[in-house]
Structure 1
Amino acid sequence: MNPFSYVRAVDSADALRQRAGHAAAYLGGGTNLVDLMRETVARPEKLVDVTGLSSAITQSDDGGLLIGAAARNTALAEHRVVRTRYPMLAHAILAGASGQIRNMATVGGNLLQRTRCAYFYDTDGSHCNKRRPASGCDALEGFNRNHAILGASPACVATHPSDMCVALAALDATVHVEGKGGARTLPFIDLHRLPGDHPDIDTTLEQGELITAIALPPLTFASRSNYRKVRDRSSYAFALISVAAALKIEGGHISDARIALGGVAHKPWRAFKAEAALQGHEATEPVFRAAAMAELADAQSLSRNGFKIELATRTLIATLADLAGGAS
């Protein structure tokens, strides 16, 4: 770990000022950043602690929810409104990590965690375009069982590791940020990037911008939602495939849907094709299968992860069937 300085920001303006002009990083719970520093993947010269910023979770005027970026994952998962109106989000957080990690990790930090690709972490000889641009990608022909089947590029096939982010993508969340250009908001699905030719750039944030809050809209039918995660072991592990889904069923027909997939791409994958394929149809297994196949029609496997296409298909069908079974 390289030497670094440390400062605790008193508010967002102070955080932006402290980071300006430095090879610095914002520090939340540190559950990912500190690991990256130990492995010398990340080498910030300065850490700006932002855990003193807003951690409030409050209902907004439109009936949605505003979540301070410094809120701990445990607090969000246990919040009454989240458990009753956005259960997929509570389930995703609980599936993501142990209680000890959830107690430390912040919501803002969760959004910015980096891939767990083994080649990204291996600084002793592995080629990784995300860690060192233009060096190559050893995962293309290497051990790629956990890697992307959607949205990948010849430069990178890594997947995004977050469970929480999959639910936030499905829920039409928006992200509040502040930077040298002032405050702005962006749709959550636009926060993370596909790799393209620059997999070293994970997000669309400008240099030094700070996430201050996440907003959830008053999506009433999200109370009928769930998060299903498939992993290699029953204890905590990163998803091979995950599905966050909400259904609105009226008279036996699907009138609205929100779906996102995890473990399949460089970013949380909003399943727009599957959502469109469900609209107006009966809530039946053949319809769910057609929707899954529409979403995964462009999936491309690597040498060791071809099973993920069928696994994603089955997991999406099972999640939708569970939700439809609870319809009145």
Structure 2
Amino acid sequence: MTPFTYHRATTVDEALQLGRQPGTRYIGGGTNLLDLAKAGVEQPIHLVDVGWLPLGTIESLPDGGARIGATASNADTANHALIRERYPLLSQALLAGASGQLRNMATVGGNLMQRTRCHYFYDTGFSACNKRAPGSGCGALQGVHRMHAILGASEHCIAVNPSDMSVALAALEAVVVVRGDGGERRIAIADFHRLPGNTPQFDTVLRPGEMIVAVDLPPSRLAGHCHYLKVRDRASYAFALVSVAAALELDGRNVRSARLALGGVAHKPWRVPAAEQVLVGRPLSTPAASEAARLLLDGARPLPNNAYKLALAQHAVVRALGIAAGGMA
């Protein structure tokens, strides 16, 4: 591990001032950054501990939404009465991630910032990884890519975003609140994570020195009919092969509004408004859910080892919608 300095920030302003130094990284629970530093993938010069800042509260907003502080733990967020009552989809997604011990340490801000779990990225013995060493190539393209992206990938990177929480936040249309030298900035969750394109080394749109301070959730009418479905190799402590965040607002049996997001298939949570709109105005049925899944997966470009994800995602979307609705018409 490369030597680094450590400073525990006591205020947001102090953290931002320290964050201006080149080579500085913010650290909360450290459940991802420390692993990367030990492996030599990340080589921070300065670590600024923001885990002690007063950013861990979860509170109702005047408009009926909710604000989750960036340092709130995944466990506290999943089990908070406000989140369980108004945003059970988020609670389900958080509880599907990692292990109890990791959820106790991991923070909401850190979860948004976790890096992709591609083994070519994590293992510095592989020289070809554009995310770790831009311009070196993508070892996964011609290598083992069973876990990798079928949507939104590029010739430079086919890794996927590993976060369960972010998939639920995408369906809930959350907003990430950040602070930096330019003051506060609000970023829609749909715009927060980047597709790899020609610069896969950048996972998010955060500017140098910016820090996540909160996640805002808008008022929602989707609490009564939602489900987070995670398909993985084993029942616990495994990343998603495919995941689905499904939420519905029902008027009797008819769908008034719908939200769908896929995880495990792209560099960011994947939403397609047309896939949601096709469900609106009629009872949920297997053909309608299948059509939504088809639209959600339109443009997919699987590779030989991960072509199974197409059928898996199709069935997962139909199943998640059926569970959310309490059955098909």
Q: Which amino acid aligns with 1:139?
A: A
For residues 276-304 of structure 1, the C-alpha deviation after alignment (integer angstroms, 9 at most, x for no partner) is 22122321111000110111121110120
Matches for 1:52-67 after TM superposition, within 5 Å? 52-53=52-53, 54-67=55-68
Q: State TM-score, norm by structure 1.
A: 0.98
CA distance in 1, matches of 2:32, 2:146: 22
Query: 1:327 Cα shift?
Result: 9.1
Please name the residue that 2:43 is paired with.
43
Contact 1:29 1:104 in 2 (8 A): yes
Amino acid at match of 2:147: N
Match of 1:286 in 2: 287
- Please identify, of 28-37 and 14-23, the stretch whose mean Cα deviation from structure 2 is larger: 14-23
The aligned amino acid for 2:15 is: A
Distance in 1 (CA, whole Å) between partners of 2:317 and 2:196 is: 24
Unpaired segments ≥5 residues, structure 2: none
Name the TM-score, length of structure 2 as normaliser: 0.97
SS in 2 for 1:139: coil
1:304 aligned residue: 305
Amino acid at match of 2:267: H
1:133-162 per-residue CA deviation (whole Å, 9 max, x = no partner) reads 011001111100000011001110000000
Gap runs ≥5 in structure 1: none
1:259-298 to 2 correspondences below 5 Å: 259-298=260-299
Counterpart for residue 194 of structure 2: 193
CA RMSD across the alignment: 1.3
8 Å Cα contact 2:58-2:68 kept in structure 1: yes
Distance 1:247 1:192 in 2: 24
Letter of the structure 2 residue corresponding to residue 315 of structure 1: A
Partners of 1:192 and 1:202 within 8 A in 2: yes
- In 1, the alpha carbon distance for the partners of 2:155 and 2:278 equals 30
Distance verdict in 2 for CA 1:327–1:12, change over 3 Å: farther
**Displacement, 1:223?**
3.3
- Match of 2:212, SS state, is strand
For 1:127-166, list aligned pairs within 5 A: 127-166=128-167
Moved more, 276-285 or 147-156: 276-285
Write the deviation string for residues 162-188 of structure 1: whole angstroms up to 9, x where unpaired: 000100011010011000111111111
| Structure 1 counterpart of 2:34 | 34
Question: Which stretches of structure 1, 4 residues or more, deviate above 6 A after TM superposition?
Answer: none
Contact 1:84 1:223 in 2 (8 A): no
| Partner secondary structure for residue 21 of structure 1 | coil
Residue in 1 that maps onto 2:316: 315
Rounded Cα–Cα distance in structure 2 between residues aligned with 1:70 and 1:27 = 10
Residues 272 and 295 of structure 2 are in contact (CA less than 8 Å); yes or no, is this contact kept in structure 1?
no
